[in-house]
Amino acid sequence: MNAHNPSGWRPEMGEGNETGPGMITHSGDMGLMVEEPLIFELGGTGDSGAKCGIDLDEPEEMPLAALQPFLRKQAPALPGLTEPETVRHYTRLSRQNYAIDLGPFPLGSCTMKHNPRLNEKVARLPGFADVHPLQPHQTVPGALAVIEQLADWLVALTGMHAVAMSPKAGAHGELCGLLCIRAALEARGDARKVVLVPESAHGTNPATAAFAGYGVESIPGTPDGRVDLAALQARLGPDVAGVMITNPNTCGLFERDMKAMSDAVHAAGGFVYCDGANFNAIVGKVRPGDLGVDAMHINLHKTFSTPHGGGGPGSGPVVLSEALAPYAPLPFVMRGSDGQLRLIEEEDGGEELPDSFGRMSAFHGQMGMFTRALTYILSHGADGLRQVAEDAVLNANYVLRSLEDLLDAPFGASGPCMHEALFSDDGLAEGFSTLDIAKGLIDEGFHPMTVYFPLVVHGAMLVEPTETESKAGLDRFIGSLRNIAERARAGDESLKAAPNLAPRRRLDETRAARKPVLVWREREL
């Protein structure tokens, strides 16, 4: 019996494995492609510890008799594994993940960039890592200074007036921005009902507007992939609270009419929310404040290289115009008239921010993300950040122009793209789709690109290489994608079964999401 498989479990064939290599090994592993059951299914023996632990069934052996009444009558239903078995379980699971440290993560719109190790080193310094959010803020002036310094950079880079640091993600920042807009409108006795969102918008934009209580109306795009300025102007009126515009947009293009759109919205009494998720493409080159933006979130995990997910709650600071700054959420780090850094909170009487709309989250932000983002900014400097945007755009254009003869690029004629290259499924053989291309990339050892988004393009494939991929790395990715595109154009049936080389074959995506089978049942060989 295999050491890490004491109960002799087997993956159940039929859940995506039916077209697999057809060979069943004793261990369930295939080469170094490991199978791993749930930790509870590992058939624990009641062991614990680095070697073999105490016997949980013998509580009377406990030395402190006084504790006896409080002891469990039965052992807790925990997996009884030794330390090495536990470590191996999680390490084996981690090897089933694809990660930015394994290869490119070309997810369009998501800006999956390398997380520099210097960020991690600084974030782990005890003075930053060990501060507690409930510590009196007089005892953490260094942490407040980090928040202020990062805030200063974000304000300078965006040309805005102030920044709310507490929102925890991009979508949370959208909500913060819309709540500022609502508070500003209510303050002038002009509650409005509608938020306009372009049809190419990220799903979080209409969702946020609806969540904030607004009716959402869609603004059509132009054939070249941008927002239709005339259609926007035609819809503006006294019921429109504001617009949410992504710039650069989700078709990977810069909204050249942004200033004209902002002017029109302001003339109609509304506010301009900019979805800044794609700021990576223009950081150091364009200041959204110069384009008339009133509020914009910045995803630190996109533009400023902090980890996505896994590293704990994220961070989506929201930069604000002078008109919206008074309504920013508390707590807020501010330098008082005495020159001292202060954390403005509700109980402080709100003298400095009397019109704040309230609170977005429990504390003043995500310290671990702030230290990482500031480290990234300081290690690049102003010129380095500009170079980031230029290299990201160069890489995306290289991908676009290296593939457009094989993959349809619907806006290829609209000029250079920004940070991401957009393709459609037009031109693939009958019966072949974007999904086949994405699954084929898995066999080639790459995480697939973003698929079926933005919705305005049929069978969309959105590739964002980011600036940290080398030319050699991009050539490898492009070579793989060209190989798959050729097979999809030629109608190569084996592509329809892809992935053929991954731990699982192609799943029924709907069933996998709605009725996931999370338990491996034992199976007779």
Ligand X SMILES: *Cc1c(COP(=O)(O)O)cnc(C)c1O
Give the binding site for ligand X (CB under 6 A): 109-110, 169-171, 202, 204, 246, 250, 275, 277, 299, 314, 316
**Whose Cβ is closer to ligand X: residue 44's or residue 248's?**
248
3-state class (DSSP) for residue 217:
strand
Nearer to ligand X, 366 or 397 (CB): 366
The nearest distance, CB 276 to ligand X, in angstroms, is 8
Give the chain's count of helices (H) and strands (E).
12, 12
CB of 176 to ligand X, least distance (A): 12
Distance CA(301)–CA(222), nearest Å, equals: 30
User: Does residue 195 contact residue 275 with C-beta atoms inside 8 Å?
Assistant: no
The angle subtended at Cα 459 by Cα 392 and Cα 173, nearest 5°, is 50
What is the rounded distance in angstroms from the CA atom of residue 400 to the CA atom of residue 347? 54
Tell me how far apart the alpha carbons of residues 166 and 362 are, in angstroms, rounded to a whole number. 9
Distance in Å, CB of 488 to ligand X, minimum: 26
Residue nearest to ligand X (CB): 170
Nearer to ligand X, 246 or 356 (CB): 246
Q: Minimum CB separation from ligand X for residue 174, in Å?
A: 7
**In the complex with ligand X, which residue's Cβ is closer, 89 or 168?**
168
Shortest CB 220 distance to ligand X, Å = 18
| CB of 498 vs ligand X, minimal distance in Å | 27
User: Smallest distance, Å, CB 296 to ligand X?
Assistant: 11
**In terms of CB distance, is 275 or 425 closer to ligand X?**
275
Find where tokens 């991954």 sit. Answer: 502
Please state the closest distance from residue 275 (CB atom) to ligand X, in A. 5
Map tokens 């087997």 to a residue. 10
Alpha-carbon torsion (47, 48, 49, 54), positive or negative: negative
Q: Least distance from C-beta 395 to ligand X, angstroms?
A: 17
Name residue 261's amino acid.
M
- Residue 299 or 414 having the CB closest to ligand X: 299
Q: Report how far residue 491's alpha carbon sits from residue 27's, in angstroms, rounded to the nearest whole number.
A: 37
DSSP letter for each residue of 43-103: ---S--SSS----TT-GGG-S-GGGGGGS-SS--S-----HHHHHHHHHHHHTTS--TTTS
484, 106 contact by CB (below 8 A): no
- Please tell me the distance from the alpha carbon of residue 139 to that of residue 131, in angstroms, as a whole number: 9
Judged by CB, which is closer to ligand X: 79, or 307?
307
- H or E segment at 403? helix 367-403
Instruction: Report d(CA 182, CA 159) in Å as an integer.
Output: 22
Choose between 119 and 208: whose C-beta lies nearer to ligand X: 208
Return the CA Rg of the chain.
27
Query: Of 368, 484, 442, 372, which Cα lies nearest the Cα of 97?
Result: 442
Least distance to ligand X, CB of residue 253, Å: 13
Q: Which is nearer to ligand X, 107 or 185 (CB)?
A: 107
Nearer to ligand X, 307 or 314 (CB): 314
